[in-house]
Amino acid sequence: DVILDVGGASFHAHKVLLAASSDYFRGMFTSGMRESRQSRVALRFQSASEIAALISCSYDGTLPLSWDCVFEITCTALQLQFQQALALCLRFLKENIEVTSCLDVASFAEAYGASELEEANDFILRNFWEVSETAKFQDLTAEKLLEIIGQDGLCVPTELAVFRAVSSWIEADPRERVRHAGALMTGVRFPLMTFREFREVRAINLRMECLADDEVGAERVRIPEQSSPCPTPQGRPPPGRGDRMSPEGGAALPAGTCGLQTPYTAAREMEWRRLGQMPDRPRFRHGVAAAAGRLYVVGGCFFYTKDDIMKSAYSYDPFQNCWKQLADMSNFCAVAHGGGLYAIGGDKEINTNIDSVEMYNLETDSWSYVHSLPQALSGHGVSVTHAGIFISGGFNSKYECLPSTFLYDPASGATPLADMASERALHCMEALQGRLYVAGGVRNLRKFYTDQLACEVYDPGTDTWTAVATLPVPHVGAASAVLEGKIYILGGYSQDDYAESGLVHRFDPCTQRWQSMGTLPGAIIDVRACLLRLPQHL
């Protein structure tokens, strides 16, 4: 007994059924309004497809819903007060919420005061990292983004995930959004980050500062220096922190400990024996090298702030079983060559790498500067062959991973060689049978770092790199050494989830395969290893 004209379409219906299904139509047809006496009613500002679905639901009680139409039908049901249809819509939104739709559901709930959908906010907090990778995340306002990241209930594997999400949001529209960077960074809890995470923060911050410089009147991005860890806010899981946590179980190797690994013929069996304790405070990210029958340990860090960088150097005589303190130096990457010890590049302060090279004279116990590197480097690989000192990859001054390789001479400087197929830093490089092998580390992926599993070998005769078998697991910041014609990679961590490892893998150039050899006494990163001849009784 009534025809509804909606958007050029006409729908035949019964007033009594519409009034029973919709408070809007009940008021129209039972309150003496003009429409109650009309046989044709025009509905402006409505869509024919939504009205058709709601009328059909009034007759048969079913409502076809999908993410393509649910928000439109819900809005129309809300406006025309189709209560049963609205209940079906809200039920669909609540039961089918997912990563790609949760932001829309939360926005709808906030706009229309739908308390039934409040758990959409909880879903966002529980799945924040996955949500931050969706296209909808880039549509958030700065205010809404700050509101989300500021909540204690935010669940992230590491606080770095929050920083990455904010950076991704800014770089989606830098011209408009870089001015919000300073405010948004107040929602990132930097004290929960480790030094390794701050390396990525530094790299992204440098890029943001360049963006800010390009915008007139833009707010310059400022990232605070890392402070001591603060208590984890209630509800937010603590990120992995500390360099001695052991996901594989077992006791951690005490910082400052010298260890001896004795390999056996059978795979996956390793014996570790403690040789002694280094003098001074424990250290990591230091340099080690063997020369003239002694072990040299130079530089490193005691903790994560600029005041914890160590300049001390020591030598260990395995025959006398004693340590000797040497003259102080200031860099971390050490290698023995031509009767001297070289400290090449590294971090002079936290997040500030350098291009200088220092040489230690074993006879005079003194350090002196030699020819500088072509650019500031840290996290690079260094190895020695009869041809000289080779340097690969590393971070430049903007903390971008590099694919570069060059031959370094203390007197004349660096000679560029063929680039690696892929950039890498915090990797291992070892010389074996006249060739150079690189493995592990991190690489650039879009705006962030990710694990570098690809391995390569360099042939100095042809100046070419060739791919070899990839690592079975990540080894970032790992130690490496060559023993009995095979390359050992020890410890490290995974950049993707910051899980620390005590695993040991061995590469055999004859079989071209990586083999699992067992574990270290505990998970450990930023450790160094070298080959040292020991007395028979050891």
HEC profile for 222-235? CCCCCCCCCCCCCC
Helix (H, G, I), strand (E, B), or coil: what is residue 25?
helix
Query: What would the CATH number be for the domain defined by 124-211?
Result: 1.25.40.420
Looking at residue 249, what is its pLDDT? 35
Query: What would the CATH number be for the domain defined by 258-519?
Result: 2.120.10.80
Looking at residue 194, what is its pLDDT? 75
* First vs last C-alpha separation in the chain: 103
How many H-runs (helices) and E-runs (strands) does the chain carry?
Answer: 13, 29
Query: Do the beta carbons of residue 526 and residue 269 sit within 8 Å?
Result: no
For tokens 């990797």, name the residue.
Answer: 427
For tokens 């390999």, name the residue.
Answer: 263
Helices (H), 6-101: 15-21, 23-30, 48-60, 70-80, 83-95
Domains 124-211 and 258-519 share a fold: no
**What residue ranges do the domains of the chain occupy?**
1-96, 124-211, 258-519
Query: Do the beta carbons of residue 278 and residue 310 sit within 8 Å?
Result: no
Query: What would the CATH number be for the domain defined by 1-96?
Result: 3.30.710.10
- The residue type of 216 is V
| Residue 144 neighbours by CB distance under 10 Å | 14
pTM of the model: 0.63
Looking at residue 339, what is its pLDDT? 74
Q: Which residues pair with 465 in a beta bridge?
A: 458
Looking at residue 313, what is its pLDDT? 86
CA dist 366 and 372 (Å) reads 18
CA dist 289 and 488 (Å) reads 16
Cβ burial of 138 (10 Å; 0-12, 13-18, 19+) is: middle
For tokens 């340590």, name the residue.
Answer: 323
Q: Which residues contact 26 (CB under 8 A, 6 or more apart)?
A: 19, 20
Find the farthest-apart pair of alpha carbons in the chain and give their distance in angstroms, rounded: 111
Q: Could you give phi then psi for residue 163, rounded to 5 degrees?
A: -60, -40
Looking at residue 234, what is its pLDDT? 39
Residues composing the chain: 538
Looking at residue 125, what is its pLDDT? 93
Q: Which residues contact 22 (CB under 8 A, 6 or more apart)?
A: 54, 58, 80, 81, 82, 83
Per-residue pLDDT in tens (0 to 9) along the chain, 538 residues: 888 888 888 899 998 999 999 988 888 888 878 877 788 888 887 888 888 899 999 999 899 998 888 889 998 998 889 999 999 989 999 888 899 989 989 988 888 888 888 888 999 999 999 999 999 999 999 999 999 999 998 998 888 889 999 999 998 898 889 889 889 999 999 888 877 777 778 777 776 666 555 554 444 455 554 444 443 333 344 443 433 333 333 334 445 666 655 443 334 567 888 887 888 888 887 888 888 888 988 887 777 666 677 888 888 998 888 899 988 765 456 788 877 888 898 877 666 788 999 888 888 888 899 999 999 998 999 999 988 999 999 999 888 899 999 999 998 999 999 999 999 999 999 999 999 999 999 998 767 889 999 999 999 999 999 999 999 999 999 999 999 999 999 999 998 877 888 999 999 999 999 999 989 888 888 888 989 888 888 8
CA dist 272 and 488 (Å) reads 14
Helix (H, G, I), strand (E, B), or coil: what is residue 387?
coil
Looking at residue 45, what is its pLDDT? 77
Looking at residue 217, what is its pLDDT? 41
CA dist 489 and 464 (Å) reads 23
